[in-house]
């Protein structure tokens, strides 16, 4: 069997780029949801109310303690069955929706921890200085703590974005037509596994490289 | 004359525990308007905790603190309002690193809507000028030396136009050659009649500037009086032993 990267690219790019489009779409949508989720979980986690703290910690424990593959199967197959058993009516969940839930719930837990770590990394003296001037807790957070925490969390946040992008390939297992699935289809037809998966890897490398570059630029601007 | 001045801060039976550790075991004192109090004592004696209770950075476990006759330790006391007229200067400066020196000074009056941006800026420049740093107004804290940062921190506290200033070991984190510039600013402030409570290891400063010196050890005021009384002729054994080590 000949390995011909160029030929495979010409033949497969429609299929692969379609899959890549799905990968990027589901990742972006999930990350937006995960950011909002992460903020809420983080706020619950650092809030003085015990019950909110417990919920946040339980959520993070659950997500961190289980593989994402299991989570994907859970949201796509297991939960619908549970709902069906409870309601008695047939229930199915759309595969894209299941994918978004999996990715956003997963990333949300990690992002919540990134936010918490960054807020805690700001020196306690900053809050004390702000409060000593008569600023309220909320104002101190908004004007003093969060601007510094954002700077601190940026590298970890971009890192989490990259992880979520790459982890989205796990959704291959539930049949989401993302890039790995499309690659598998093409390989099944042509047996060109080396060339095809090489292109898949290159696509990811390009996106991740661009992301890292952008984050470096943003970081430099924030630190200026 | 000191006796005729009004009582500014009144501390009654102040106790503070961290878990099982009782750090303050009952502090009673009165501080008069315009008085400069220097608090000395070994580390871990509770002197910083005492200071931090005065603006409720630490919540008293027991006892009462009155400022201008009003209780600040009462549960319904508005802590944000109380802090507005009590300036605080920290050992580690705690300037806001993402703002310039001028912005650090302007921030609170603008955010609390006490001044317009323009008024606050004029005041900030005036205050930076007063601490000798008008040329550093647009520098970020990390571009300034320790002594300069601490002077900006003093200006930042003064921007709220406080009538009490608390200093928590303001020169302890400074290189020796920068201690003077900070102490000079504090000396001026004292001469202008500011009520000041200064936790310090600078015995020379305490001796020169303080109206009264508190020697705190083991969570109580072991000895207090004029610098001459406490520092030159200490009566308490603990004070004698402490001073013999630091002087």
B97:A139 CB<8 A = no
B1 has a pLDDT exceeding 60: no
Burial class (CB in 10 A: 0-12, 13-18, 19+), A159: middle
Of B92, B94, B108, which is closest to A134 when you measure between CB atoms? B108
Minimal-distance CA residue of chain B relative to A137: B80
Residue for token digits 């400066």? B93
pLDDT at residue B4, as a whole number: 67
Set of chain A residues whose Cβ sits within 8 Å of the Cβ of B92: 123, 125
A117 has a pLDDT exceeding 70: yes
A204 has a pLDDT exceeding 50: yes
B86:A136 CB<8 A = no
Phi, psi of B31 (to 5 degrees): -120, 130
Residue B109 to residue B117: CA distance in whole angstroms: 9
B108:A135 CB<8 A = yes
Residues A213, A29 contacting (CB under 8 angstroms): no
Q: Which of B81, B97, B172 to mutate to test the interface with A (most CBs of A within 10 A)?
A: B97
Residue A65 to residue B23: CA distance in whole angstroms: 41
| Residue B3's pLDDT band (cuts 50, 70, 90) | low
Burial class (CB in 10 A: 0-12, 13-18, 19+), B233: exposed
B83:A132 CB<8 A = yes
Q: How many CB atoms lie within 10 A of CB B128?
A: 23
Residues A139, A163 contacting (CB under 8 angstroms): no
pLDDT (average), residues A147-168: 94
Please give the interface size between A and B, counted as residue pairs whose CB atoms are below 8 Å apart: 55
Task: State how far Cα B102 lies from the chain centre.
Answer: 21
B2 has a pLDDT exceeding 60: no
Set of chain B residues whose Cβ sits within 8 Å of the Cβ of A219: none
Chain A residues whose C-beta is within 8 A of a chain B C-beta are 123, 125-126, 128-136, 139, 143-144, 147-148, 151
The 3-state secondary structure of A116-145, one letter per residue:
HHHHHHCCHHHHHHHHHCCCCHHHHHHHHH
Residue for token digits 């495979």? A8
B111:A135 CB<8 A = yes
Q: Cα distance from A141 to chain B (closest Cα, Å)? A: 12
Minimal-distance CA residue of chain B relative to A223: B98
A148:B95 CB<8 A = no
pLDDT > 70: what percent of chain A?
99
B230 has a pLDDT exceeding 80: yes
B94:A128 CB<8 A = yes
Q: Cα distance from B87 to chain A (closest Cα, Å)? A: 7
B195 has a pLDDT exceeding 60: yes
Q: Which of B83, B84, B98, B167 to mutate to test the interface with A (most CBs of A within 10 A)?
A: B98
Minimal-distance CA residue of chain B relative to A224: B98
B109 has a pLDDT exceeding 90: yes
pLDDT at residue A223, as a whole number: 73
Distances in whole angstroms, Cα of residue B30 to Cα of each of A178, B3, B68: 74, 11, 11
pLDDT (average), residues A81-86: 94
Residue B123 to residue A173: CA distance in whole angstroms: 64
Residue B17 to residue A224: CA distance in whole angstroms: 43
The per-residue DSSP string of B64-116 comes to: EEEETTEESSSTT--HHHHHHTEEEE-TT----TTS-HHHHHHHHHHHTTSS-
Residue A98 to residue A139: CA distance in whole angstroms: 38
Cβ contacts of residue A198 below 8 Å, gap of 6+?
A: A5
Q: In which element (H, E) is residue A136 found? A: none
pLDDT (average), residues A130-152: 94
pLDDT > 70: what percent of chain B?
98
> For residues A49, A53, A56 and A60, what is the CA-based torsion angle, rounded to 10 degrees?
170
Q: Is B26 left (phi over 0), alpha (psi -120 to 50) or beta?
A: left
Set of chain B residues whose Cβ sits within 8 Å of the Cβ of A143: 107, 111
Please report how the helices A146-167 and A193-223 are oriented relative to each other, as an axis angle in degrees rounded to 10: 180
Asked if the C-beta of B80 comes within 8 angstroms of chain A's C-beta atoms, the answer is yes
Q: Enter the ipTM.
A: 0.92
Beta bridge mates, B88? B166
CA nearest to B27, candidates B53, B4, B6, B5:
B53
pLDDT at residue A158, as a whole number: 93
| Residue A47's pLDDT band (cuts 50, 70, 90) | confident
Q: Cα distance from A137 to chain B (closest Cα, Å)? A: 9
Distances in whole angstroms, Cα of residue B138 to Cα of each of A171, B104, B191: 51, 10, 29
CA Rg, chain A, in Å? 21
Condensed to tens digits (0 to 9), the pLDDT of residues B13-70 reads 999 999 999 999 999 999 999 999 999 999 889 999 999 999 999 999 999 999 999 9
A132:B96 CB<8 A = no
CA Rg, chain B, in Å? 18
B157:A132 CB<8 A = yes
Tokens coding B215 = 């020697």
Mean pLDDT of chain B: 94
B92:A125 CB<8 A = yes
A129:B83 CB<8 A = no
Asked if the C-beta of B125 comes within 8 angstroms of chain A's C-beta atoms, the answer is no
pLDDT at residue A190, as a whole number: 92
Task: Determine what percent of chain A falls in helix, strand and coil, rounding each to the nearest 5.
Answer: 85, 0, 15
Residue A191 to residue B74: CA distance in whole angstroms: 78
Residue B152 to residue B75: CA distance in whole angstroms: 33
Of B55, B81, B97, which is closest to A132 when you measure between CB atoms? B55
| Residue B5's pLDDT band (cuts 50, 70, 90) | confident
A132:B107 CB<8 A = no
């Amino acid at each position: 069997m000949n390995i011909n990267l160029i030929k495979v690219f010409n033949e497969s790019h429609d299929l692969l780029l379609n899959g890549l489009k799905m990968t990027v779409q589901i990742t972006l949508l999930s990350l937006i949801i995960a950011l909002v989720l992460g903020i809420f979980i983080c706020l619950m986690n650092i809030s003085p109310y015990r019950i909110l703290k417990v919920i946040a910690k339980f959520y993070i424990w659950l997500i961190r303690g289980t593989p994402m593959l299991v989570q994907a199967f859970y949201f796509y197959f297991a939960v619908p069955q549970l709902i069906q058993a409870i309601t008695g009516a047939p229930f199915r969940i759309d595969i894209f929706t299941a994918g978004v839930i999996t990715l956003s719930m997963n990333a949300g837990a990690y992002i919540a921890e990134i936010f918490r770590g960054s807020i805690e990394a700001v020196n306690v003296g900053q809050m004390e200085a702000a409060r000593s001037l008569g600023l309220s807790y909320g104002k101190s957070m908004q004007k003093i703590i969060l601007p510094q925490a954002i700077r601190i969390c940026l590298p970890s946040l971009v890192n989490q974005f990259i992880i979520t992008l790459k982890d989205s390939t796990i959704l291959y297992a539930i049949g989401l037509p993302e890039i790995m699935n499309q690659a598998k289809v093409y390989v099944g037809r042509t047996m060109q596994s080396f060339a095809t998966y090489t292109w898949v890897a290159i696509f990811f490398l390009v996106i991740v490289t661009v992301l890292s570059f952008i984050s470096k630029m943003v970081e430099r601007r924030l630190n200026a | 004359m000191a006796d005729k001045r009004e009582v500014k801060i009144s501390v009654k039976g102040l106790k503070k525990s961290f878990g099982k550790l009782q750090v303050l075991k009952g502090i009673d004192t009165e501080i008069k308007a315009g008085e400069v109090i220097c608090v000395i004592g070994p580390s871990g004696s509770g002197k910083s905790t005492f200071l931090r209770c005065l603006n409720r950075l630490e919540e008293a476990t027991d006892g009462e603190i009155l400022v201008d006759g009003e209780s600040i330790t009462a549960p319904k006391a508005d802590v944000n309002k109380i802090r507005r007229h009590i300036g605080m200067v920290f050992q580690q400066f705690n300037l806001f690193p993402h703002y310039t020196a001028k912005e650090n000074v302007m921030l609170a009056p603008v955010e609390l809507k006490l001044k317009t941006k323009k008024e606050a800026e004029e005041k900030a420049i005036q205050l930076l000028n007063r601490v000798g740093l008008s040329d550093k107004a647009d520098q970020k804290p990390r571009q300034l030396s320790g002594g300069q940062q601490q002077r900006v921190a003093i200006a930042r506290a003064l921007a709220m136009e406080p009538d009490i200033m608390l200093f928590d070991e303001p020169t302890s984190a400074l290189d020796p050659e920068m201690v003077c510039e900070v102490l000079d600013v504090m000396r001026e402030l004292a001469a202008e009649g500011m009520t000041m409570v200064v936790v310090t290891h600078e015995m020379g400063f305490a001796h020169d500037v303080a109206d009264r010196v508190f020697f705190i050890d083991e969570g109580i005021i072991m000895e207090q009086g004029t610098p001459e009384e406490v520092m030159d002729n200490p009566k308490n054994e603990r004070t004698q032993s402490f001073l013999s080590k630091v002087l």
